[in-house]
Structure 1
Amino acid sequence: MSTLIAAAQMQSSGIAEENLAKAEAAIRIAAARGAKLIVFPEIFMTGFPPADLKAELVRKASQPLDGPFVRGLSAAARQAGLWVISGMLETAEADAKAYNTTVVLNAQGELVTFYRKTHLFDAFGFKESDAFATGDKLFEPLETPFGRMGLFVCYELRFPEVARYQAERGVDFFIMPSGWVNGSMKEVHWRHLIVARAIENTAYMITSDQTGDKYLGRSLLVDPMGVVLAEGSEGEDLIYADINLERVAEVRGKVPSVAHRRSELYR
């Protein structure tokens, strides 16, 4: 069974209403193309430059899970009849900060689940933890009409344990919303790590990156053997690829590496 997936590689403004309008338009286009799931970048709701990573600004821009941004995505998902995944800033009730959260909405517009980023980007001179509250649990794989889905966010690509935790629980494809900031060697790391996560877990990798002056773009959709099925440029675009559970089974038949792990030796 093949399913067309769309990665919405887009640039966010600092205004949630503007970004919601862009998302609604992209959802309509993707649905008309026949996509069944669309993925938006990390913190697409309000994307802002890393230089503005201040707790008070993040908190002020945040919304609850039942706020206008998620409600708008819900209505668009329901009208178009496709699944929608997007990054947002979620208000943290017991903290002066906000969560870097990814929401998952089904084709009926229901909020199926959400994930709060657990590994914050305190690297390359940035300190995301100054502005964001930290999630306290990894994403639990989710059954969808297209296969079993895993999910992690941007910097978490650098932690193979995050993907492997989910792979051990059965994953056919991973979703990775990102705001991968430009920098020396960053593009090399981006591409190699995405392909590596697909190969070592024999699962699809579906990534959607922010674009603009500070971000890389170059979203990748990679199959379980590490074949790049589609790649974005540096600009805004909708990128499409099919995922196929028969391909997952075929690759795992050739390379059953996840099943061959001897975890008792290295845990």
Structure 2
Amino acid sequence: MSNKNTLPVALIQEKNHGDAEANLAVIEMRVAEAAARGARLVLLQELHNGAYFCQHESVDEFDLAETIPGPSTERLGKLARQHGVVLVSSLFERRAAGLYHNTAVVFEKDGSVLGKYRKMHIPDDPGFYEKFYFTPGDIGFKPIDTSFGRLGVLVCWDQWYPEAARLMALAGAEVLLYPTAIGWDPDDAQDEKSRQRDAWILSHRGHAVANGLPVLSCNRVGHEPSPLASEKATGAAGIQFWGNSHVLGPQGEFVAEAGAEPEILSAEIDLARSEDVRRIWPFLRDRRIDAYGDLLKRYID
């Protein structure tokens, strides 16, 4: 590290390799390489153990879920300890029979589980039928303290909600992290694809600017076919995950950005810059908390 406030990070942008064993084996290789490059914080993509199974609704997919702690947390904890990194993972959690969550787990560099975050905003759209599988989180927006900083971990669909990023910031998060699985329908027109990707990146840049914090977003890549392909329904063409994982500074500036292929995106973030940025853009100071009561309403009629 160039100074005590500079944190080397790595985002493991990957495609699906078939099953949990294959994907975790690749993750182990990628984390080893990232650590060898100097990374101290490593972020994995959403539901990295397998295919993005939410393209259809099938009770058989619940067999993929596991307890936390469980086999994957044991393996990932050993990986974090082996390389001395703080590791942010994304798992399909079996909390109880019939009760499942989309859960991010944070491991300390000694391999211990520091905390978890259960995805709060759950989509339900063609190709993204997550409400069938995931119960909304009930832990709240609580940052997780690590040896390398206080992490505000959110998951994918949470990225469209400024409230989530703000609440993490108000609770003292020093970095916002988003394990992500986002892509487009291959049948969409190119201009629509571009608008969707640009909106996604713009949303993250907005969270960085509004909160004066670095933002890390790790997406998956590759085309994943839909189990509904034979039905010719909306979304049956599968999903082309577009990658473009990125690291942003506290003014929304690009520190690093990946392409659309598997990649280890390495960067350094300066945690001290948030203090400087917030002094010149004191958004937290000027918030009118006395006037925001209507935000608790679904809609103002």
SS of structure 2 residue aligned to 1:92? strand
Alignment partner for residue 119 of structure 1, among 112, 118, 121? 121
Contact preservation (8 Å) 1:23, 1:73: no
Q: For residue 161 of structure 1, what is the aligned residue in structure 2?
A: 163
Contact preservation (8 Å) 2:7, 2:271: no
- Aligned positions, number: 265
TM-score, normalised on structure 1? 0.94
Superposition RMSD on alpha carbons, in Å?
A: 1.6
Per-residue deviation, residues 103-133 of structure 1 (Å, max 9, x unmatched): 1001000011111111111245643101222
Task: Say which is worse superposed, 199-208 or 240-249, in terms of deviation.
Answer: 240-249
5+ residue gaps, structure 2: 186-191, 224-239, 294-301
Per-residue deviation, residues 176-228 of structure 1 (Å, max 9, x unmatched): 00001224332021111010010001000011001111212000100001111
Q: For residue 187 of structure 1, what is the aligned residue in structure 2?
A: 197
Give the counterpart letter for 1:229 in structure 2.
V
Contact preservation (8 Å) 1:217, 1:234: yes
User: Does residue 242 of the first structure (1) align with residue 268 of the second (2)?
Assistant: yes
User: Does residue 15 of the first structure (1) align with residue 25 of the second (2)?
Assistant: no
Instruction: Indicate the structure (1 or 2) with the bigger Cα radius of gyration.
Output: 2
Give the counterpart letter for 2:80 in structure 1.
A
Q: For residue 175 of structure 1, what is the aligned residue in structure 2?
A: 177
TM-score, normalised on structure 2? 0.84
Q: For residue 69 of structure 2, what is the aligned residue in structure 1?
A: 66
User: Does residue 75 of the first structure (1) align with residue 78 of the second (2)?
Assistant: yes
Q: Distance in 2 between matches of 1:15 and 1:108?
A: 27
Alignment partner for residue 229 of structure 1, among 228, 242, 255? 255
SS of structure 2 residue aligned to 1:148? strand
Alignment partner for residue 210 of structure 1, among 217, 220, 234? 220
Contact preservation (8 Å) 1:58, 1:89: no
Task: Say which is worse superposed, 81-90 or 177-186, in terms of deviation.
Answer: 177-186
Shift of 1:249: 1.1
SS of structure 1 residue aligned to 2:96? coil
Shift of 1:245: 2.0
- Runs of 4+ displaced beyond 4 Å: none
Q: Distance in 1 between matches of 2:22 and 2:57?
A: 20
